[in-house]
Structure 1
Amino acid sequence: MNLFSSQNEHIQLKMADGDVHYYPFLFKKTEADHFFEILKESIQWQQDDIKVFGKTYKQPRLTALYANNENTYSYSNITMQPHLFTDHLLKIKKKVEDVSSEIFTTCLLNLYRNGQDSNGWHSDNEKELGPEPIIASVSFGEERWFHFKHKTKELKQKLLLQHGSLLLMRGKTQENWLHQLPKSKKITNPRINLTFRIIN
């Protein structure tokens, strides 16, 4: 039996010093399949270099930045220039905004080509995002485990992000928690992640 009869039904994760809500079925499977295929082919993906302890490596995923303005976004010594939102991204954004009651300006997209692509421990706390940033993370494609750990307390949490789901992080989540998408040898299929943000 499907416990979530509505696309808007969600669970609030029990996370001290954080505010995280998970919508498992924001997009129906047919919608999610459709968006996954279109985004994989139409987004202007790039692979940037990152420096770790003085050595340069290819980032272990592909990325792209889209927005309704020309504001750049910087993280890990990478500064990204946005493309204008496509019609498909605007449709996804509208659905996320209807659920979250927020208006997002920017979307950082990640394409994890297989289980060897990953994202290490970090917080989305760049100054462009302001205090208490709101991050709305949509997943299409392969399910992946998403890990949280508290910055000062012995607290951990993990969640399997489903095809067509939304993870909404608000309040002091970025101030108090780190998150990551770890590698997995078992995964061979790609996942696309859209992280909607507000950069004014």
Structure 2
Amino acid sequence: MFTNDPSHASSIELPDAALDYYPGWVDSETADAWLEKLVSATPWSQPEIRIYGRQVAVPRMVAWYGDADARYRYSGLRHDPLAWTPLLRDIRERLQHETGQRFNGVLLNLYRDGRDAMGWHSDDEPELGDCPTVASLSLGAERRFDLRRKGSGRIQHSLVLAHGSLLVMRGMTQHHWQHQIARTSKVLQPRLNLTFRLIETRPSK
């Protein structure tokens, strides 16, 4: 079911970054089952964000799951967590075991086809801490993942994220790099991305 041998991982050599890619972290049959179940069972939403003074719907469907106190704010929106489902809890436990990193939340992004996208950004919100680890599981259609150095307008590295693959970003990656999923007319099938994170929580006063 899982490819636990670290030799299956490939490190992406970029300065001031730590990225490991596992192209077959989960077998295709299991990935198919997860994709079908998560797409159909998730209460998707399409929030709006303000860009240049206009309210614009994000070009994908989203859902945020996590521990009760794992509230997450990005793009000016606050996301209160949905309760872990048994499947998401199981995936989290396996990820924690294999990465040695604790996670208390997961952001689900559903790209319905190639017209859905994610613009340039870094996962560097304050509640993620100084050197966040983000574990990104891809299910469904293959999409190209682009990276560029902050301050640069040029794509400096790209890789295709395969069905059942895992990309782990650690260390100073979010300080120095941005990433995107660009629009494409070539992809007609959906892709589901699960990015597991650790939200730093503060005790209530």
TM-score (norm 2): 0.92
User: Partners in 2 of 1:112 and 1:91 — Cα distance?
Assistant: 23
- The aligned counterpart of 1:105 is 104
Displacement of 1:7 in angstroms is 4.4
Q: Secondary structure at the match of 1:91?
A: helix
Q: Report if aligned partners of 2:135, 2:195 keep a CA contact under 8 Å in 1.
A: yes
Which consecutive residues of structure 2, in runs of 5 or more, have no partner in the other structure?
201-205
Task: Give the % identical residues.
Answer: 38
1:189 aligns with 2:189: yes
Hey, what does 1:14 align to over in structure 2?
A: 13
Which string of whole-angstrom CA distances, capped at 9 and with x for unpartnered residues, describes residues 31-73 of structure 1? 1001000000111111000111011111100000000223311
Of 5-14 and 51-60, deviating more is: 5-14
Partner residue in 2 for 1:23? 22
Secondary structure (helix, strand or coil) at the match of 2:103 reads: coil
Q: Does 1:136 align with 2:135?
A: yes
Match of 1:38 in 2: 37
Give the aligned partner of residue 172 of structure 1: 172
Amino acid at match of 2:107: L
Kept in 2, the 8 Å contact 1:7–1:23? The answer is: no
Deviation at 1:96, TM superposition (A): 1.5
- For 1:45 and 1:7, the matched residues in 2 are separated by 31
Measure the CA separation in 2 of the matches of 1:77 and 1:6: 37
Counterpart of 1:79 in structure 2 is: 78
**Offset at 1:93?**
1.1
SS in 2 for 1:22: strand
Counterpart Cα distance in 2 of 1:177 and 1:111: 23
Task: Please list the CA deviations of residues 139-181 of structure 1 after superposition, one character each: whole Å capped at 9, or x if unmatched.
Answer: 0000000000011467711010000010000000000000000
- Distance (whole Å) between structure 1 residues aligned to residue 131 and residue 43 of structure 2: 29
Moved more, 41-50 or 89-98: 89-98
| Aligned alpha-carbon RMSD (Å) | 1.4
- Quick check: 1:115–1:184 contact (8 Å CA) kept in 2? yes
Show the counterpart of 2:203.
none
Q: Please give the secondary structure, in 1, of the residue aligned with 2:116.
A: coil
Runs of 4 or more consecutive aligned structure 1 residues displaced over 3 Å after TM superposition: 5-8, 152-155
Indicate if the aligned counterparts of 2:113 and 2:189 stay in contact, CA closer than 8 A: yes
Matches within 5 A, 1:55-94: 55-94=54-93
SS of the aligned residue for 2:145 comes to strand
**1:95, distance to aligned residue in structure 2 (A):** 2.0
Q: Is the aligned partner of 1:52 residue 2:48?
A: no
2: CA distance, partners of 1:86 / 1:129: 22
State the AA in 1 paired with 2:177: W
> Residues 155, 55 of structure 1: CA spacing in aligned structure 2 closer, same or farther, 3 A cutoff?
closer
The answer to whether the 8 Å contact 1:108/1:195 transfers is yes
How many equivalent pairs are there? 196
Counterpart secondary structure, 1:90:
helix
The aligned residue for residue 198 of structure 1 is 198
The answer on whether the counterparts of 2:112 and 2:190 sit within 8 Å (CA) in structure 1 is yes
